[in-house]
Structure 1
Amino acid sequence: MAPPKWLRWLLGGLLLLAVAAALFYRDRIDPADVEAWIQGTGGLAPLLFLALYTLGAVLFLPGSVLTLAGGALFGPVLGTAVNLAGATIGGTLAFLIARYLASDWVAERAGGRLKQLKEGVEAEGWRFVAFTRLVPIFPYNLLNYALGLTRIPVLPYVVATLVCMAPGAAAYTYLGYVGREAATGAEGLIQKGLLGLGLLALAAFLPRLVARLRRRPMLDVDEVHRRLEAGDDLLVVDVRSPAELSGELGRIPDAINIPVDELPRRLDELADAAERPLALFCKTDRRSAKAADLLARNGFADVHVVRGGMTAWNEAGLPVAEGAGPNDSQPQEATG
């Protein structure tokens, strides 16, 4: 049975007030006083910090700061366990709050681009959760609530969150521990610091690895032509410069042209195609591979590099158009 509308409004209002109060008073809280208070509770300190971390996730307090504090308070092993548990429980609580308060309302009113995006996320399910937990460009606190508005099941959400946040939690916890060691002048600081930087570098490398795993197999030009002729929902994206589209290799009719160097700031032009299959063309396939990694890291689920690019397309004698298309960028100097 759905909760009464007035109850949802009441709880939503109380949540907004709590978030606003937490953000307003955040800068007035002395972290040293909080750490001293938690340490003074003795054996209850880990549980108290776990509750604080959980509450912080719900109220939009910065998770990285809490994670560093957990490392300073409890060391690398217990600190990682407490931080990861707090992040997972807090993220799950925010997920459930959003689902209870607004998921039905969003499902009834979502349309157009928002509906397509929501359905794409739901189709990816736990894989989308895992990807966004590993890639740091997605804000942790906001993501918890946003995912609660989808129909992703709770258990896959919890498991993917727990597993895929573990590398980052371990790295930041260890950095917090090293910071405390530096303040107390403990021995072996250089080795500990290098290990902390190594863990942080590993956590930073994971998004690139995930992007490569998400990239689909390369397509041959004959396969691309067959799918286009069959009316497949394949979107062709040409990442060459506009000047090259007017060159001897020509262009594929109806292809979207976004040069690879402009792709990071023009991703919104492909927002409607986040769940569509994309076929990426360049002169060969080197720039297409670079573009594919970028798109995969930004949530595009079905990205294919076309093997050999426009060179292979021409060698196969497949049809091309000449001149710039209506959706092409303004001409600029080709970079080769």
Structure 2
Amino acid sequence: MTRPKLVAIAVIGLAVALFFMSGLDRHLTLQSLKANRELLVSYSEQHRLAAVSLFIGIYVVQTALSLPGAAILSLAAGAIFGAVQGTVYAVIGATLGATLAFLVTRYLFHDAVQEKFGHRLTTINRELETAGLNYLLFLRLVPLFPFFLINLAAGLTHLPLRTFIIGTLVGIIPGGFVYVNAGASLATISNPADAASPRVLGSFALLGLFALIPVIYRKFTRRA
């Protein structure tokens, strides 16, 4: 591994370590959000542009470094900015952060992984190059796959950057809206998991399966 890559890994590791050592993770809780909601809303009303920029920046850093707190940030978006605008800001922040995580992973580890396991990943790479958007939408919509793992794993494949951005942007809107909308009624939430009911999660899974229909159809017609 080259020196610039080692330096990049060290910087990322240091940033993650500082996050936990500084205790910032203890502030990304539902209780902290409820306790500070009035203060945050007041600041947002007086300094709208700064509040939006700061929120999106925090969301980008959290997602890019795969730090905990995404659900709390989405709830905060609704609590501070409202359901519609909060969803827009949360989706922008998450998409930008995911793209950074994707690019960093591709830069640091893609070549090494492909060199060592490329012969085993040939089929996967071919599928992602031709139907990557469908697969990514499925992964983003079905609530079984951790968001940060998808970002990192995608960077190790041949999935095109443009496909990753579009699939992420579109795929996270439904789930993002659910959490942001719940944040708009923050008083009714006692646990971040309460934002999404089993029925809602099942609906997302169904949407994810619909995203795979074109892939299944192409495979069926080829065999036929």
Identity of aligned residues (%): 31
Structure 1: segments with no counterpart, 5+ residues: 184-195, 218-300, 304-336
Distance across 1 between alignment mates of 2:174 and 2:208 = 13
Within a 5 Å distance, the mapping from 1:1-336 to structure 2 comes to 5-24=2-21, 25-29=23-27, 31-32=32-33, 36=39, 39-40=42-43, 42-43=47-48, 44-60=50-66, 61-111=68-118, 113=120, 116-180=123-187, 182=188, 201-202=199-200, 204-211=202-209, 214=212, 216=216
Report if aligned partners of 1:122, 1:150 keep a CA contact under 8 Å in 2: no
CA–CA distance in structure 2, aligned partners of residues 119 and 73 of structure 1: 43
Mark the CA change 1:18 to 1:204 in structure 2 (over 3 Å): closer, same or farther.
farther
Taking the aligned partners of 2:90 and 2:83, their CA distance within structure 1 comes to 10
Amino acid at match of 1:47: S
Output one character per residue of 1:222-280: Cα deviation in whole Å (capped at 9) or x when no partner: xxxxxxxxxxxxxxxxxxxxxxxxxxxxxxxxxxxxxxxxxxxxxxxxxxxxxxxxxxx
TM-score normalised per structure 2: 0.77
TM-score (norm 1): 0.53
Matched to 2:72, the amino acid is V
Question: Once superposed, what is the RMSD of the aligned Cα atoms?
Answer: 3.0
Unaligned 5+ runs, structure 2: 190-194
Note if contact 2:141-2:207 (Cα within 8 Å) is conserved in structure 1.
no
Q: Which has the larger radius of gyration?
A: 1
Per the alignment, in what secondary structure is the counterpart of residue 151 of structure 1? coil
Contact 2:71 2:179 in 1 (8 A): yes
Secondary structure in 1 matching 2:92: helix
CA deviation profile, 1:109-143 (whole Å, cap 9, x unmatched): 11565555455444431211111111111111121
Query: What letter corresponds to residue 132 of structure 2 in structure 1?
Result: G
CA contact 1:171–1:203 (8 Å) conserved in 2:
no
Counterpart CA distance in 2 for 1:99 and 1:12 is 13
Counterpart-to-counterpart distance in 1, 2:12 and 2:130: 29
1:9 to 1:133, Cα distance in 2 relative to 1, 3 A: same
| Aligned partner letter, 2:204 | L
Shift of 1:55: 0.5
1:86-110 deviation line (CA, Å, top 9, x unaligned): 1111111111111111211111111
Paired residues in the alignment total 204
The CA distance in 1 between the partners of 2:95 and 2:196, in whole Å, is 24
CA 38–119 in structure 1, closer or farther in 2 if over 3 Å, else same: farther
